[in-house]
């Protein structure tokens, strides 16, 4: 059974929020921390500003050749040197969702080189895509990235290139949440405050 992941913006969590910035459409409210947790833990944390939910699900566009290349080169989440993270929730337009599978694939890859561009930033930038649309959430995807501080300029370049693609013309709402791993000391301080 598929388990959902919750991204909870509030006053505690493993990640400290550095900035929240609307790229397109409405912003997300300000929160000092982000907690990432599995869906079942949801109800134990009442003090949240916003909650976003997604599932890792199956691959929607990636073909076997691409998947094999990705698996060979990509790095895992939770690397000890990856102190920076970004949560980028995205909503695409109704026009996008009314397209057939091959039309969407053509825009994602043949026209926008989404996979090719992402590959260039591996293994420095680890990432995970969460699907939200079918869950009735306000965003369609939650994209999650982790990288060492020295790779931050590369990550900015990755975002800039993706946002110039044909695929991004179908993006109706996008928010960029930049994060730093909260030290255990900070986490402890939060617990004392609570």
Which residues contact a second copy by CB under 8 A?
1-4, 39, 55, 57-64, 66-67, 97-105, 131, 133-138
Nearest distance from C-beta of residue 135 to a second copy, angstroms: 7
Nearest distance from C-beta of residue 94 to a second copy, angstroms: 10
Nearest distance from C-beta of residue 57 to a second copy, angstroms: 5
Pick the closer one to a second copy by CB: 24 or 188.
24
Q: Which residues have CB under 8 Å from 20's CB, separation 6+?
A: 27, 28, 29, 30, 31, 175, 176, 177, 178
Pick the closer one to a second copy by CB: 3 or 80.
3
Q: From CA 123, how far away is CA 118, in angstroms rounded?
A: 10
Pick the closer one to a second copy by CB: 84 or 175.
175
Nearest distance from C-beta of residue 120 to a second copy, angstroms: 20
Q: From CA 60, how far away is CA 114, in angstroms rounded?
A: 13
CB 24 within 8 A of CB 60: no
152, exposed or middle or buried, with CB in 10 Å at 0-12, 13-18, 19+? Answer: middle
Pick the closer one to a second copy by CB: 114 or 131.
131
């Amino acid at each position: 059974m598929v388990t959902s992941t919750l991204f909870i913006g509030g006053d505690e969590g493993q990640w400290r929020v550095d900035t929240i910035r609307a790229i397109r459409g409405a912003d997300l409210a300000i929160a000092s921390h982000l907690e990432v947790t599995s869906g079942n833990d949801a109800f134990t944390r009442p003090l949240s500003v916003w909650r976003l939910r997604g599932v890792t699900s199956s691959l929607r566009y990636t073909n076997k050749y691409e998947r094999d290349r990705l698996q060979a080169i990509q790095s895992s989440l939770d690397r000890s040197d990856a102190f920076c993270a970004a949560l980028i929730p995205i909503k695409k337009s109704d026009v996008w969702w009314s397209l057939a599978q091959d039309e969407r694939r053509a825009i994602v890859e043949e026209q926008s080189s989404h996979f090719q561009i992402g590959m260039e930033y591996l293994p420095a930038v680890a990432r995970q895509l969460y699907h939200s649309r079918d869950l009735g959430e306000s965003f369609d995807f939650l994209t999650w990235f982790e990288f060492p501080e020295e790779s931050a300029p590369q990550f900015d370049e990755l975002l800039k290139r993706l946002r110039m693609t044909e695929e991004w013309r179908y993006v109706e709402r996008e928010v960029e949440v930049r994060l730093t791993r909260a030290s255990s000391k900070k986490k402890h301080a939060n617990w004392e405050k609570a």
